[in-house]
Structure 1
Amino acid sequence: MGVRLKSFGIVLDGRDLSSYSSGELVSGQLLLETGVRLPVIQLRLEAKGCARVHWGGDGPATEATRHRDEVVYLQQRQVVRRAADDEGYFTLQPGKHKFPFSFHLPPGPLVTSFSGKYGSVKYWVTAILERPCGTSQVVTREFSVTSQIDVNAPYFLASVSKSIEKTIGCWLFTSGPISLSAKIERSGFCNGEAIPIYAEFENCSSRLIMPKAAIFQTQTYLENEKTKTFRQIIANVRGNHVASGSTESWNGKSLKIPPVNPSILDCSIIRVEYSLAVYVHIPGSKKLMLELPIVIGTIPYNGFGSRTSSISGHFGLDMSWLQLALPEQPEAPPNYADVVSEEDLARQFPSLPQADDLEHEFGSPIFAYIQEFRFQPPPVYSEVDPNPAFSEEVQHEVSFEI
């Protein structure tokens, strides 16, 4: 039997809890420890990522009814270290060893990591230690990938609304219709965000109804022409009972999105979609429900930026001419004395009496008069025009010709 390592593992550089995106660098170290001299043919690394679906019966009898499919998004191999001598192997001395590695994810779009009812999207790195004798030792480490979805894209900023109506009863024993209309101002949201719901519930039936709302996650798995679907509620909220002949309004009722997987819309065999369902629970009858499609993204909503861009796009404004009209460094305004002649300057600003002359004329320091003026009471309020002559004068000057 071959000698086993004391430890063998993979550590990713500073990204143990975070997620990667397409085109990013994945780097880390292979850590191993041995207690004896260990001959090694090569130490290599494999990186793989794929989407897989599988459902069907168990056992050989149901082999024909099983459905499996796979789409590969990442497939890379590299040799971390190999033998450089004629013997065909190198020797690891007793102790701990570190071997760095790195590789780039493909620049094209990658599907977000996901684990569902009948399939998954996973990415992982595998380290293989090959030895001259004995079986190779293998260790695997998963890592997460996120496909970025910007909820500020124009098609996620448009409002979505629907209406529906249902009459309770059958034949001649009808009790009146129940109508429901709902609206959301946009369809793109992120984890932790609250969805404001605007809805109107009108109950013209004879029953007591209960308005509710929920976020549904729909997982769809495809294999050739076969489809498997799994649907679940991830969050819900309820309103107040609506009595017969009454109405209920939701003016932005909040429904918070819990931590869930972002929408997956770019995979050929797995789709993860979300919808906001607004419905009415009717005792003794099937519920009345409408669904508004939503998308769970990764880049948060930026109201100011998206609103500005949408307005500019709507009106088709081109503001590039402003850059040509404005100088890089604004010039200082000219001095007033440079643009006005000395004669005009002397005529506009007559010489003012000095403070000593004013005090001599008033017989006391000028500061006393300033203080006296400052503390004078305000004029008495009156609705009578203090300048009636001026008003009449203006009225006489304005005339209309017909």
Structure 2
Amino acid sequence: MFEEKFTNFNVNLNTLSRTNTFSNGDLITGHISFDLSKETEITSLTMKLKGNVNVHWSIAGGGGRKSRRRRKNYSAKVELFSFKSVILQENCAVGGTPKLQPGRHVYPISCQLPRGDFPSSFRGVHGQILYTLTVGINRPWHLSKDFVTELNFVHHIDTNQPELWAPLSGSNRMTLSCLWWAPGPITMTVSTEKKAFIPGETAKIICEFSNASSRTATPKVKLQQKQTFYTANRVHRRMVSRVLANITGDRVHAHTSNVHTEIMLTIPSSASFTVSNCSFIDVDYNIEVSLCVKASHDLTVLCPIILCDTSAHALSPPLL
């Protein structure tokens, strides 16, 4: 049995950043190690670097006993890159298959990620963007034994763009319906300091409210993530929305105007980065600010933001 001969197998990669991430063109270095309990013949030790996108979902075809047969399945996949290298290989010219002696074995590994416009790693409801490093142990008359290490790949967005650190602003208004009189309008103006944020950062949302109605309004702020999955040529799509964070502000009382408030919303550190450069998966974010009024629809303003690995605060705006 494999496990009887090989124990304590580890793939140790040298970190390039404090977040333990890799990106376009990075050189990956490290070593593999394992213990052998007895002399073992090895055909080769190989290493494969691979990037893949896969999506899949299904939709019920209707009710009844045969509904499962009528389910429609949608899927798509693409291989972003794949290449293989050899760590150790038999040398037929000098005696054939090498035999490794019992004890500890350590081998250095080195490979470079290709250059290209590859999306960040992502795992979603109906698909994933996955980067892996696979070490294979090949022995005579045995199936290959593979050890897979998932890489956290980051697509670096150029935050040195004015539109990413410029403030966002939006406004909305509504008038409550009433059979006996014409109440005054409810208005709101919302702004954020910038568009680009990093996971774990706190966004300051600046709000201006006026409530000329006779009802109290409650402001609520949400961070919404929208995952969109596509088939080939984007013929079919499936969308999933998730609320990653929310907070409720102070009430805006009836017949008040020019109410200024600042609401702080912390973006979860576990949030995935924005994905906008993938054929089959999009990941978008909105900060949604709503004024909730009893027995009425909400008054809402959306601020589209992006999540990336570099804060816009870390860069100075270009000189005009």
Please give the range of the TM-score, normalised by the shorter of the 2 chains.
Answer: 0.7 to 0.9
How far off its partner does 1:294 sit? 0.9
Residue in structure 2 matched with residue 74 of structure 1 by the alignment: 81
How far off its partner does 1:281 sit? 0.8
Once the two structures are superposed, the pairs formed by residues 378-393 of structure 1 within 5 Å of their partners are none
Distance 1:183 1:143, change over 3 A: same
Aligned residues of 1:197 and 1:250 also touching (Cα < 8 A): no
* 2:302 is the counterpart of 1:291: yes
CA distance in structure 1 between the aligned counterparts of 2:199 and 2:19, rounded to whole angstroms:
17
Aligned residues of 2:252 and 2:259 also touching (Cα < 8 A): no
Residue in structure 2 matched with residue 226 of structure 1 by the alignment: 236
Aligned-residue identity in percent: 27
Q: Deviations over 1:137-185 (max 9, x none)?
A: 2211112111112434212123222221112125666533211121223
CA distance in structure 1 between the aligned counterparts of 2:261 and 2:252, rounded to whole angstroms:
16
Q: Deviations over 1:367-389 (max 9, x none)?
A: xxxxxxxxxxxxxxxxxxxxxxx
Amino acid at match of 1:166: M
Distance 1:222 1:164, change over 3 A: same
Residue in structure 2 matched with residue 165 of structure 1 by the alignment: 173
Once the two structures are superposed, the pairs formed by residues 98-247 of structure 1 within 5 Å of their partners are 98-169=106-177, 174-224=182-232, 225-247=235-257
Aligned residues of 1:152 and 1:302 also touching (Cα < 8 A): no
Q: Deviations over 1:236-272 (max 9, x none)?
A: 2322222221135335432222212121111111111
CA distance in structure 1 between the aligned counterparts of 2:67 and 2:131, rounded to whole angstroms:
30
Aligned residues of 1:216 and 1:234 also touching (Cα < 8 A): yes
Residue in structure 2 matched with residue 361 of structure 1 by the alignment: none
Aligned residues of 1:5 and 1:32 also touching (Cα < 8 A): yes
CA distance in structure 2 between the aligned counterparts of 1:39 and 1:128, rounded to whole angstroms:
14
How far off its partner does 1:215 sit? 1.5
Residue in structure 1 matched with residue 10 of structure 2 by the alignment: 9
Amino acid at match of 2:183: S
Residue in structure 1 matched with residue 288 of structure 2 by the alignment: 277
Amino acid at match of 1:84: N
Residue in structure 2 matched with residue 368 of structure 1 by the alignment: none
Distance 1:152 1:63, change over 3 A: farther
CA distance in structure 1 between the aligned counterparts of 2:263 and 2:199, rounded to whole angstroms:
17
Aligned residues of 1:158 and 1:186 also touching (Cα < 8 A): yes
* 2:92 is the counterpart of 1:85: yes
- Structure 1: segments with no counterpart, 5+ residues: 313-402
Per the alignment, in what secondary structure is the counterpart of residue 6 of structure 1? strand
* 2:25 is the counterpart of 1:23: yes
Bigger RCO of structures 1 and 2 (CA < 8 A, at least 6 apart): 2
> Normalized per residue, which structure has more strand?
2
Q: Deviations over 1:107-159 (max 9, x none)?
A: 22221111111111111111111111233222111121111124342121232
CA distance in structure 1 between the aligned counterparts of 2:287 and 2:308, rounded to whole angstroms:
15
Task: Choose the corresponding residue for 1:257, options 267, 276, 300.
Answer: 267
CA distance in structure 2 between the aligned counterparts of 1:39 and 1:18, rounded to whole angstroms:
35
Choose 148-157 or 54-63, whichever is displaced more: 54-63
> TM-score of the superposition, structure 1-length normalised?
0.70
Aligned residues of 2:58 and 2:72 also touching (Cα < 8 A): yes
* 2:50 is the counterpart of 1:39: no
Per the alignment, in what secondary structure is the counterpart of residue 164 of structure 2? helix
Q: Give the RMSD, CA atoms, in angstroms.
A: 2.5
Q: Deviations over 1:67-102 (max 9, x none)?
A: 221122231101111111255411111112112121
CA distance in structure 1 between the aligned counterparts of 2:177 and 2:69, rounded to whole angstroms:
46
Amino acid at match of 2:74: H
Residue in structure 1 matched with residue 63 of structure 2 by the alignment: none
Q: Deviations over 1:291-347 (max 9, x none)?
A: 0111112112237x523x1x42xxxxxxxxxxxxxxxxxxxxxxxxxxxxxxxxxxx
CA distance in structure 2 between the aligned counterparts of 1:138 and 1:186, rounded to whole angstroms:
45
Q: Which has the larger radius of gyration?
A: 1
Amino acid at match of 2:78: V
